[in-house]
Structure 1
Amino acid sequence: MHTFKILSVLLTYPQQETLDALGEMAEIIERETHLSNVHKKAVQSLIDSYRGADLLDLQERYVALFDRGRFLSLHIFEHVHGESRDRGQAMIDLLELYRTHGFELSARELPDFIPLFLEFLTQLASREQALQLLRDAMPVLSLLGARLAERGSRFHVIFDALADIAGEPEDIADIRRQAAVEGEDESLVNMDAIWEEEAVSFMAAGEPCQTQTGTVNPITITPRDQILKSPRNRSL
């Protein structure tokens, strides 16, 4: 199912190779029958948005969207386990699944990275198995799609396309409602606070090599609430 591969590439940090392959990707999306016409057009529109775009601009937008907070993290288990120990075991289980099917990762790759997960689905011989694994991940993927839609990002069409293939989770209405009412990404708020604190500390330092008196107030990290409210699927 090459459609998974195209969606994986579109969800990966843009490279020159991405721009060079836009025509081929558009042809594959048009040729394959896994997406409805509505979702084909939406993905084609995303592909078209890359045409003529400056690569550095695309890369900066990608980093600003996906790499600066947790709400839009492209790591599946971030939205299920957060920083708990369960995340490590889930990673091991998923990595073992990959290896069972001959899908090897480099030392730097995390198995729950969504573009990597989609690439794995592309290589599965059994379409039904690929669809079942995708359905297992849909509560997280649908939440990401809803958050992207709330932020006006066109990347939501990728997750809409995945829902078109696998079907939406039963609690999709709750997921969309959550995305609509949740506040700012706390990780971004805390990062801004850290930068502000650093700026204040620097300005208060006075002359170079002068010892600063007083104690800087520590940054309090808000405990992470459970983001995904649907039951966790242990097969991932």
Structure 2
Amino acid sequence: MSKQDRITYLAASWCLSYPDEQLVARVPLMRAALGEFPGASQPFDVVLSALETTALMALQTQYVQEFDLGKRHALHLSYWTDGDTRRRGEVLGAFKKVYRGSDTLVDTRGELPDYLPMVLEYAATVDLAAGRDLLQQYRPSLELIKFGLQRDTLPHTDIVQAVCNTLPGASPADEQAVMRMAGYGPPTESVGLDPYDPRLLPMKGA
């Protein structure tokens, strides 16, 4: 399963990243790699098809709208557990420590180290065990990202679910179940943006 998981993580990393010409050029590679395993390509099909058939500028505009202009689908894992609190700095430092523990220099490319595509790429190409440990540690964040994407009927939902399926245990039924599974409440020491509060889930179209 390790090879399939690596391919799933790398394809998910690319498909959750900002679309550019390089990403579009990688679509045949992703299709070929995922096609080695029965059913592995299904969660990616809609996104891959969009990359093949939609104008690049339209793809980029949609990505910015869905992922960059708000926090509804924030791809930074510690945002969902720590919000913009002072302790989040310690959490980000822990991600950097994991990366420094590998024998490969991890280029963050200007992103925070908890950026999901980066964590997935790290797991796929550098250290599968350490990367999977990070994903498991932040499983609640993955599930909350998934529910946010699902609420807005975005095809990336199935991709995040595919990542969750590589981890132990079944996915929770809803956001409240995620919070119970995680055993944490919303952060209280806010700096800047309000921390995540499961009682204030955004409604579709908000």
> Could you state the TM-score of these two structures normalised by the residue count of structure 1?
0.68
CA distance in 2 between counterparts of 1:227 and 1:106 reads 28
For structure 1, which segment, 71-80 or 102-111, has the greater mean C-alpha deviation from structure 2 after superposition? 102-111
- Which amino acid in structure 1 is aligned with residue 115 of structure 2? F
| Secondary structure at the counterpart of residue 49 of structure 1 | helix
CA contact (8 A) 1:29 1:40 kept: yes
Larger radius of gyration: 1
**C-alpha distance in structure 1 between counterparts of 2:27 and 2:72, whole Å:** 28
Give 2:116's match in structure 1, choosing from 103, 114, 134.
114
CA distance in 1, matches of 2:163, 2:177: 19
Change in CA separation of 1:18 and 1:76 when aligned onto 2, cut-off 3 Å: same
**SS class of match (1:166):** coil
Report % sequence identity: 22
Counterpart for residue 139 of structure 1: 140
Match of 2:23 among 3, 18, 22: 18
Deviations 1:53-74 (A, max 9, x none): 1000000000000111112111
The one-letter code of the counterpart of 2:32 is E
Q: Which runs of 5+ in 2 are unaligned?
A: 1-5, 179-191, 200-206
CA shift for structure 1 position 8: 0.3
Residues 139, 228 of structure 1: 8 Å contact kept: no
Structure 2 SS opposite 1:119:
helix
Q: Which residue of 1 aligns with 2:91?
A: 90
Larger relative contact order (CA 8 Å, sep ≥ 6): 2
Tell me the CA shift for residue 177 of structure 1. 6.9
* 1:156 CA displacement: 0.6
- 1:28 is the counterpart of 2:61: no
- Is contact 1:79-1:228 (8 Å) kept? no
Q: Check conservation: 1:103, 1:120, Cα contact below 8 A.
A: no
Could you tell me how far 1:117 is from its partner in structure 2? 0.8
Cα offset, 1:161, TM superposition: 0.7
Q: 1:81 to 1:75 in 2, by over 3 A?
A: same
Contact 2:147 2:174 in 1 (8 A): no
Once residues 170 and 141 of structure 2 are traced to their aligned partners in structure 1, the CA distance between those partners, rounded to angstroms, is: 10
1:208-227 equivalences under 5 Å are 224-227=194-197
CA contact 2:84–2:193 (8 Å) conserved in 1: no
SS of residue matched to 1:85: coil
Q: TM-score, normalised by structure 2?
A: 0.78
2:184 corresponds to which residue? none
CA RMSD of aligned residues (A): 2.7
Give me the whole-angstrom Cα distance separating, in 1, the residues matched to 2:113 and 2:20.
Answer: 21
Query: Alignment partner for residue 10 of structure 2, among 5, 17, 27?
Result: 5
Unaligned runs of 5+ in 1: 179-221, 230-236
Distance 1:108 1:154 in 2: 26
- Whichever residue aligns with residue 111 of structure 2, its letter is E
SS in 1 for 2:166: helix
